[in-house]
Amino acid sequence: MKTYVVSGAASGIGAATAALLREQGDRVITVDLRDADVVADLATAEGRAEAVAGVQALTDVVHGVVPAAGVAGSPGVDSSLIVSVNFFGAVALVRGLQPQLAAAAGASVVFLASNSITGMPGWRGSVADLCLAGDEEAARADASQAESFMVYPGTKAALAWWARREGITEPWIGAGIRMNSVAPGMVDTPMTDKLLADPEMGPLVAAYPSAVGRPGRPEEIAAVILFLLSDASSLMIGSVVYADGGTDAMFHPQAPAGWDVR
């Protein structure tokens, strides 16, 4: 039995990931605002410290971390909150648990990116740059100047890029810790339900194209996450795996675009 940490585990992809891990006999320590083993708010520095300390109080060894907690870019959502939760909350949890991951002598981290990185033109690249620079205050300030749906892809791109940049360094792969990302498209979750109910965003979300003709299911994304956590993906470091029903391939039949957005 291995021990995994999943944030955002109260619903959606996080809940599905925790369920699949438990089904295969593993221990899962959940982190969320409610209904979790460790109740903490990853939007704040204090909450992140509480989350890390809470996990460390429960285990000395962590075989994998899935920071799935996130905030959608929907009308009425504070753009700066998206920055704090989606990027800084996820990175702080992973960094804080680096000693426990290293103790596993072969661990894996899987971030939740998004196909909006390549599927949504014109998103706010400056947010991603400031996230990667580690300047939360400046990133929040920059995000507040844009609509939340243009900030969301920036935070997800920053996660994927951070995993690529840091994943090949001594503190991570040198310690036997692999970092990768999965990039879902539209998935049938409570977050998507809220978007569909919005009079402005709903029609756009409903028209979202997919080669399979339907939204993804949380357990389908969870299955990809479990693969990336497993030894079967031992050669994958810094990869971004698209699991979006073919949406990105429909937009970019030859090569994805958008990674160089500025």
Contact 97, 65 (CB under 8 A): yes
pLDDT at res. 98: 98
Look at residue 260 and tell me if it is in a domain.
no
Mean pLDDT for 178-201 is: 84
- Over residues 244-259, the pLDDT tens digits come to 999 999 988 876 665 5
Instruction: Determine the Cα–Cα distance for residues 104 and 52; give it in Å rounded to an integer.
Output: 17
The sign one gets for the Cα dihedral 213, 197, 39, 101 is positive
pLDDT at res. 206: 73
Contact 207, 149 (CB under 8 A): no
pLDDT at res. 259: 54
User: Which CATH number is 41's domain given?
Assistant: 3.40.50.720
Look at residue 113 and tell me if it is in a domain.
yes
Look at residue 98 and tell me if it is in a domain.
yes
pLDDT at res. 193: 76
Q: Which of 13-17, 57-61, 207-211, 216-220 has the lowest mean pLDDT?
A: 207-211
AA letter at 20: L
Q: How many domains does the chain fold into?
A: 1
- Over residues 101-138, the pLDDT tens digits come to 999 999 999 999 999 999 888 899 999 999 999 999 99
Look at residue 53 and tell me if it is in a domain.
yes
The beta strands (E) that lie in 49-174 are given as 64-67, 107-112
Look at residue 254 and tell me if it is in a domain.
no
pLDDT at 144 over 90: yes
Contact 216, 115 (CB under 8 A): no
Mean pLDDT for 5-17 is: 96
146-177: b or e for each residue (b if 16 or more CB lie within 10 Å)?
Answer: bebbbbbbbbbbbbbbbbbebbeeeebeebeb
Closest CA relative to residue 219, chosen from 70, 5, 17: 17
pLDDT at 230 over 70: yes
pLDDT at res. 208: 79
Give the active site residues: 152
Instruction: Determine the Cα–Cα distance for residues 129 and 175; give it in Å rounded to an integer.
Output: 27
pLDDT at 74 over 90: no
pLDDT at res. 110: 98
pLDDT at 55 over 90: yes
Identify the domain containing residue 200 by its residue range.
3-243
pLDDT at res. 258: 56
Look at residue 116 and tell me if it is in a domain.
yes
pTM: 0.93
pLDDT at res. 255: 67
Instruction: Determine the Cα–Cα distance for residues 39 and 45; give it in Å rounded to an integer.
Output: 14
- Cβ count within 10 A of residue 215: 20
Closest CA relative to residue 107, chosen from 223, 229, 254: 229
Look at residue 252 and tell me if it is in a domain.
no
Contact 40, 57 (CB under 8 A): no
pLDDT at res. 260: 55
pLDDT at 37 over 60: yes
Mean pLDDT for 209-215 is: 89
Contact 21, 224 (CB under 8 A): no
Look at residue 86 and tell me if it is in a domain.
yes
| Mean pLDDT of the chain, nearest integer | 93
pLDDT at res. 97: 98
